[in-house]
Amino acid sequence: MYKNVSNQHIVGVILLFSSCLLTVTAKAQATNETPTVNYANADIKSAKNSNQPTYPTTSSLKLPETDTSWKPVRRIWGYTFGDFYYDAHADANIVSATGKPSANGRGGETNYSGAPTYRNAFQFRRIYLGYDYDISKKFSVEILLASEPNANTATVAGISTSTTTLTGANGATATTTTTTTTTVPNSDNLVDGKMSFYIKLFNLRVKSVWNGSDLIVGEQLTPAFAMLTEKIWGYRSIERTISDFHRTNAYDVGAGLQGFFDPASKNFGYDILIGNNSTATLGLAANASTGFYKAFYGDVFAKFLDQKLIFDLYADYMKIAPATAVIGGQDRNMLKGFVAYTTPKITFGLEAFTQQVVNGVTNVTNNKAGENATIEAFSIYAHGAIYKDKLGFFARYDGYNPDNDLNSADVYTVSASNNLLAYNPFQKETFYTAGLDFTPAKNIHFMPNLWLIDFKDQRDPSAAGYVANDHTLVYRATFFYIFGK
């Protein structure tokens, strides 16, 4: 009996579950056959009719849109220029019989210092290999390797001395001193004379630290000329701008800000930098100035008439060396102005600077250790199109006075810590260049040109060390090409 009751209970449970399953299946089929039901709306309506909070449903969520407008720059690029040159006349006071600069040499900052008359050769004057990499929309990296040899193949001698002491069987000693001279080629060359690269730029750019302004950290271009005035001159492949020619720092290691006061129109801007005043070289621990002094650079510019008329003002200041018992502390500062009118058909430019080198020279005649030297220079040029995109012209004239305060009857020496490469306070310079620019294809240029520099000694002809006026004249067929940009 109990067994039959148990079986009846089991059958009853099975029938109950079966009826529930059929009911659920029928409702599911009815739902599938009615596609107009909106579950999101149903949920919201039911929530309104209750005291429960409303939650977003899957159908109401929006996925973030992908920014397809940003395309990162990740490129290898480069450019090079050089010439086939013929040195028609070399300044006799630059070159001796061996082809090396003489003791009274001048023009050491030029590409042809030490090149003898009649030398002719194919030569690279610059090779760039760069890499630009956008890490993100906010950060980018700039890397640049450079090789910039000149036409001077003379060598710089380094002398080392070693002493050897020999002891004989009887205790007697003999000492032998050996002097060894090694030679290292000038410019960007290895000890064996082969061309080499050095790291010229390596920096991180943080974009838009505020609207229109970027922060740059690392080895970077200074505000002196490369960001604006060199671009308007447009012929770095022919010669440096005048401040670059006389060795204002082109690049330095530090932190800088670049930007615009009006980011929308970009007519007014600035460029500032605090650097080591070391360019690409490493500071030497033996140098008392290493790690103590910084260079400060600043530039502002304005563009008018639809950016055809451009004004630029640049200044810098850098401490060079501390005071000693003999000479006061040394520093130098520059103030430079620039104005240009530029269109695709014609460009005129004028650049001028004054630079003071505090305690830069010593007046031997007056026994005065430490006199200021005031440098003054200007450059005027024009370039334009003869036939659009195919043939152009360029011409330039520079004047340079290395010390406007120099007394022609006195004898001077240059302070050891002057820090200006090849600085010579006696020699005025006048520079000329002119040529044509043939462009067979975009970014490829062939430019026949002449390059001439005149030297004039400011000292009296009777003064000790006076050298006669002379010049260097070079005829060149220059080539220049860019890739990857």
pLDDT digits over 219-243, tens only?
A: 999 999 999 999 999 999 999 999 9
Q: What is the pLDDT of residues 342-386, one digit of tens each?
A: 999 999 999 999 999 998 888 888 888 888 999 999 999 999 999
Joined together, the tokens standing for residue 148 give: 């910039």
Q: Give the model's pLDDT for residue 424.
A: 85
pLDDT at 50 over 80: no
Does residue 225 sit within a domain? yes
Q: Give the model's pLDDT for residue 405.
A: 87
Kindly state whether residues 317 and 410 are assigned to the same domain: yes
The alpha-helical segments, DSSP class H, found in 33-157 are 39-48
Q: Give the mean pLDDT of 438-465.
A: 94
Does residue 468 sit within a domain? yes
Report the amino acid identity of residue 256.
G
Lowest mean pLDDT among 261-265, 405-409, 457-461: 405-409
Kindly state whether residues 54 and 111 are assigned to the same domain: no
Does residue 156 sit within a domain? no
Distance in angstroms (rounded) separating the CA atoms of residues 143 and 415: 35
Kindly state whether residues 114 and 12 are assigned to the same domain: no
Kindly state whether residues 119 and 6 are assigned to the same domain: no
pLDDT class for 482, splitting at 50, 70, 90? Answer: very high
Kindly state whether residues 316 and 281 are assigned to the same domain: yes
Q: Give the model's pLDDT for residue 174.
A: 52
Does residue 254 sit within a domain? yes
Does residue 206 sit within a domain? no
Kindly state whether residues 37 and 112 are assigned to the same domain: no
Joined together, the tokens standing for residue 312 give: 């630029």
Kindly state whether residues 336 and 407 are assigned to the same domain: yes
Joined together, the tokens standing for residue 410 give: 């006195």
Distance in angstroms (rounded) separating the CA atoms of residues 454 and 431: 6
Kindly state whether residues 343 and 287 are assigned to the same domain: yes
Does residue 399 sit within a domain? yes
Percent of residues, the chain, with pLDDT higher than 70? 72
Q: What is the CATH number of the domain that holds 325?
A: 2.40.160
Does residue 141 sit within a domain? no
Which single residue is written with the structure tokens 């011409």?
A: 395
Kindly state whether residues 237 and 336 are assigned to the same domain: yes
Kindly state whether residues 360 and 266 are assigned to the same domain: yes
Distance in angstroms (rounded) separating the CA atoms of residues 259 and 270: 6
Q: Give the model's pLDDT for residue 21.
A: 43
The total number of structural domains that make up the chain: 2
Does residue 443 sit within a domain? yes
Tell me the pTM.
Answer: 0.79
Distance in angstroms (rounded) separating the CA atoms of residues 352 and 371: 23
Q: What is the pLDDT of residues 271-289, one digit of tens each?
A: 999 999 887 665 555 555 5
Kindly state whether residues 33 and 104 are assigned to the same domain: no
pLDDT class for 36, splitting at 50, 70, 90? Answer: very low
Q: What is the pLDDT of residues 387-429, one digit of tens each?
A: 999 999 999 999 999 999 888 888 888 876 666 777 888 999 9
CB atoms within 10 A of CB 143: 17
Q: Give the model's pLDDT for residue 279.
A: 74
Q: What is the pLDDT of residues 68-101, one digit of tens each?
A: 788 899 999 999 999 999 999 999 876 544 444 4
Tell me which residue range forms the domain holding 408.
81-123+212-483
Percent of residues, the chain, with pLDDT higher than 90? 55
pLDDT class for 31, splitting at 50, 70, 90? Answer: very low
Indicate the residue among 13, 28, 59 that finishes a domain: 59
Kindly state whether residues 372 and 292 are assigned to the same domain: yes
Q: Please, are residues 256 and 226 in contact by the beta-carbon 8 Å criterion?
A: no
Estimate the share of the chain in helix, then strand, then coil, as percent rounded to the nearest 5: 10, 50, 40
